[in-house]
Structure 1
Amino acid sequence: MAREGKRKIVIKPEEDGEESDPGHEEEPATNWKQLIEDEVKQTLPGVLRLCISNAKKQRHDLLKHTIEGVTATQNVAALVKEYAEEHLATLESITKEYASIHGQIGQYDSKLTNLERAVQSSRIPDSFDGTLDTSSYAPTDDQLSKHDFVTKFYAAAGIEREGEEDEEVMLQETNSVRNMSCPITQMLMEEPMRNPACGHTYSRKGIDAHMKLKSSCPVAGCPHKVANLERDVEMEVLLSRYARRGNSSQYVGASNVDSEDEEEVEHVVE
């Protein structure tokens, strides 16, 4: 009988100078690199959408603070003219600064909208350097003087400008009230929502009801669709200011009525 036993395995030592296959080592690194690139491509659009959403919220807050600031400046303009006219130039300078900030916000919003459209269509930029840069915005003093903020300041301060007549001012005020009406409900707007595609603004309840029937803009002749609605901060401030004026008028009216009642009572007593 043959004797059972373990077979010996002979291992040949590697000869000096023999190199291992470099491709075998590079292959895992190449795979990992591809996996990382694929992961970035998949997650980047979602991250960018989140960043854009946060940027829009910050833009809304900044715009609201800007409008509130310039509104406060306009409100004190008449008092300053009456009691400290020498400070009107300072208020005018502040108002022009607000107008410049408003222009920068507009340019920033335009760039942000372009980036959002690129992300939505899967056109991710290779570089984001300067994508939202607004440093190139440099309006002239003449351009700032024609800005809506500044013209309203002039009107509040009683500063007459060449070419402006009372009828034109009255027309602007009438248009402002009309523009605060919802094109759907024909009533004063509540929770104004702006359509970025065309710039039209509607009440939230009105546009929600309209969207259940149609997706087109309800403004006559507008060819755009209603999509990506956002808060209209400027309209919010206008509505708030309009409401305060209305309450003030009601208060004054009520005070006058009370005074008349008191006079009547005194007369009866006599």
Structure 2
Amino acid sequence: MARDGKRKAPVKAESHGSPDDGDDASGEDDEDVEQPRAPTIEDWKRQIEVEVQQAIPGALRMCVSNAKKQKHDLMKHTIEGVTAARNLAPLAKEHSMPLVDRLKQLTKEYALINGHIGAFDSKLTDLERTLQAGPGPQSFNGLLDMSAFHVADDVLSKHEYIKQFDAAAGIEREDEDDEDVMVQESNSVRSMSCPITQMLMTEPMRNLDCGHTYSRVGIESHLKHKQSCPVAGCRKRVGNLERDVDMEVLIANRSKATALPRHGGATAVDTDDDDDDQEEHVVE
């Protein structure tokens, strides 16, 4: 008992809990936190659908691009067939007119194929623009359908292929005029020399903006310095280039024609061919 007559209040000892007590408390708090829900099959399906929809436009653009590239190979085979029929026309006329008629019918079929390729390429271009503008159409049914494609016979008879065949076979045409003759003559003497390298073209590329054709190595070197067309007097820019399959066929036919005299030992042609085989050099 204290001297002042007051009793001291008992001091309550502090309680030091064990570490296990704190873990129990935190464990109770963890139980209150909502655990993330495991994805279900439907969640995975939706995620896959989103990824597929995002990938489809790019895949379709690649398919369209590949299809448009194949157009040039198809056009090249068509032009080769037309050229072969036209070259045979004078010889066929000397022996059999029915053979000339069959060659002309074959040329008409090539002209029809040419139109079919052009119409299909137009549909591909429209689809390409649609894919570039947005996610693409919901349905592709009928977008590339060519079943309705048709060319009337009177329209087909005025095709450039038919006009060239008739001219080669010596067949007179009622609709032929001086302008048609000039066009045919300009096509027959079309220059196969690159305006940049001044050599026989290799891998000819045509400028869609102005129609001029250059060798690939020449135009690629030219574009490193200038964007304008290298042909004198042309003010167009070199923007869209594509394979010039017409020029490819012209060059191939020339190579075949100049190679034939070699079997006879002609030296003049040999010398000319050696010049054509030289490596192209850019002349600016």
**Common fold: TM-score over 0.5:** yes
User: 5+ residue gaps in structure 2?
Assistant: 1-36, 270-284
In structure 2, what residue type is equivalent to 1:222? K
Confirm or deny: 8 A CA contact 1:45 1:119 kept in the other structure.
Answer: yes
Residues 55-64 or 190-199, more deviating? 190-199
2:226 and 2:268 map into 1 onto residues whose CA distance is 49
Q: TM-score, with normalisation over the residues of structure 2?
A: 0.67
Q: Does 1:202 align with 2:214?
A: yes
1:236 matched residue in structure 2: 248
Who wins on radius of gyration, i.e. which is larger?
A: 2
Give the root-mean-square deviation of aligned CA atoms.
3.4
Q: Does 1:221 align with 2:216?
A: no
Q: Does 1:164 align with 2:164?
A: no
Secondary structure of 2:40's aligned partner: helix
Q: Does 1:65 align with 2:77?
A: yes
1:155 matched residue in structure 2: 167
Confirm or deny: 8 A CA contact 2:57 2:131 kept in the other structure.
Answer: yes
Question: Could you tell me how far 1:179 is from its partner in structure 2?
Answer: 5.3
In structure 2, what residue type is equivalent to 1:79? L
Secondary structure of 2:140's aligned partner: coil
Question: Could you tell me how far 1:157 is from its partner in structure 2?
Answer: 1.1
1:188 and 1:143 map into 2 onto residues whose CA distance is 36
User: 5+ residue gaps in structure 1?
Assistant: 1-23, 258-270
2:8 matched residue in structure 1: none
2:220 and 2:160 map into 1 onto residues whose CA distance is 31
1:82-112 per-residue CA deviation (whole Å, 9 max, x = no partner) reads: 1011222222111111101001111111222
1:121 and 1:216 map into 2 onto residues whose CA distance is 28
1:34 matched residue in structure 2: 46
1:143 matched residue in structure 2: 155
Alignment of structure 1 residues 57-206 onto 2, 5 Å: 57-164=69-176, 169=181, 172-178=184-190, 180-185=192-197, 187-196=199-208, 200-206=212-218
1:159-205 per-residue CA deviation (whole Å, 9 max, x = no partner) reads: 11125368963663234433544454455432112345665432101
Matched positions, count: 231
Secondary structure of 2:190's aligned partner: helix
Percent of aligned pairs with the same amino acid: 56
In structure 2, what residue type is equivalent to 1:190? T
1:267 matched residue in structure 2: none
1:12 matched residue in structure 2: none
Change in CA separation of 1:256 and 1:218 when aligned onto 2, cut-off 3 Å? closer
Question: Could you tell me how far 1:143 is from its partner in structure 2?
Answer: 1.4
1:170 and 1:31 map into 2 onto residues whose CA distance is 69
